[in-house]
Amino acid sequence: MPLRLLSASLALALAAGAAGAVAAPKVFDANITKPEVLAAQEAWCNALVQISTVGAREGQAAARAIAGEVLDTAYGYNLGPVLFKPTLTEAPQTFRTTREGALAYFVGGDPAFPKDDGFALKGWTACTVENVAIHINGDVATTMGNVMITNRNGSVTTVDKTWTFKKTDDGRLRIVLHHSSLPYTSG
């Protein structure tokens, strides 16, 4: 019995030694994380201010070019229809599931979307996010809360905002859902 125990202990010690010698396992993690989501929100805010700034300095065409880049890198129009309900769109063009519709909303100037006057061109100088709750589920994460955007007069507009970000195979995040609405007031 003592011999057996000794033998087992030795085996354990050897196993532990072997374990100590092996390399850490390689990890392939496809999941989205909260820090990634917060960084993507901040990037959205920065992009909005950037489009606004460029638009004010260099005109609509330059703003349009930047907005197109933002859509091509930060939104998931390359993956499928994006569930996008912008703050200020109206029926029957409320929802902008295509890149064209999103671009028209941000910088206007598209006769196919006659009511769009370019949301990103309204002179935004700052943008901050206050998350109320975050739901992380696989490679997608959804945030809900407020976004406060400041115009050049210092006036702050608050919107109720929901975003879903999807982490794609290259490890980057894209917006696949964006529902924005003005706060309700009973008056």
Give the x-and-dash track for 80-109 against a second copy (CB under 8 A).
Answer: xxxxxx-xxxxx--xx-x------------
153 burial (CB, 10 Å; 0-12 / 13-18 / 19+) is exposed
Q: How far is the CB of 182 from a second copy (least distance, A)?
A: 6
Stretch that binds a second copy, among 50-58, 64-72, 74-82, 101-109 (CB under 8 A): 74-82
Taking CB under 8 A as the rule, does residue 28 contact a second copy?
yes
Give the x-and-dash track for 142-181 against a second copy (CB under 8 A). xxxxx-x-x-xxxxx-x-x-x-x-x-xx------xx-x-x
DSSP string, 72-135: HHHB-TTTS--EEE-TT--TTS----SHHHHHHHHH---TTSTT---GGGS-EEEEEEEEEEEE
Instruction: Annotate each residue in 29-58 with x if it binds a second copy (CB under 8 A) or - if it does not, as one string.
Output: xxxx-x------------------------
Amino acid at 68: G
CA distances from 101 to 49, 104, 169 (A): 20, 5, 26
* SS3 state at 139: coil
Please tell me the count of residues contacting a second copy according to CB under 8 A: 81
- Least distance from a second copy to the Cβ atom of residue 141, Å: 9
* Part in contact with a second copy (CB under 8 A); list of ranges 51-59, 67-75, 78-86, 100-108: 78-86
